[in-house]
Structure 1
Amino acid sequence: MNYTTTEDSEAAHLCEIYDDDGNSSYEDFIAEREYGVAHDERHYKLNKKAKVGTKIVCAGPKCNNRFVKKSYQQCFCCTRHKDQFWNRREAHFGYRKPI
């Protein structure tokens, strides 16, 4: 099954390959990524509003690490998750959309 897409990415091609086996589809991939981005944004907004010294959940993709907020700008448990969060949003929206 071939999908006509404007996105010519490796992920799109992999989804087409998996769809031939009946495991996944491009629409499922996009829907899951959209849900993930919205979920991460919710945590990001909550973490930005939280006071220093409160326990928060990391806003990184698929990270449920709980930690104490040490500075006013901290939203992630590590820099790797910060980079993953912003890269995932950029891949989804096509640009660095402000929150």
Structure 2
Amino acid sequence: ARARKEGRPWVKDLLSAMGDDQKLPRPLTMIPGGKGGTVTRVTTDEPLRSRLFSLGLSPGAEVTRKEQSAGDERITIDAEGRAIVLEWTEAASVWICAAH
């Protein structure tokens, strides 16, 4: 995620080579505010994994990332109609496929 944010050229080349990059799962931290999709995996260990699952953030859940103020280290999402606030590191472990 950092390499893409930094604009490293190999990321663009890789995504181009793999086809439509919008179809690839990506961490919730890489989804722009106002956009969303379906949770495909949660890449963390216990106890955080159980916490995220208890919040409804398990594969198949529909989520939308809310707009965020610059410099805010927390991410607010709407998950199945519930507003949830996550730390940046928590949100980075929730991978989604963006809605088209």
> Hey, which of these two has a bigger chunk of strand by percent?
2
Instruction: State which structure, 1 or 2, has the greater radius of gyration over its C-alpha atoms.
Output: 1
What TM-score, normalized to structure 1? 0.25
What TM-score, normalized to structure 2? 0.24
> Hey, which of these two has a bigger chunk of helix by percent?
1
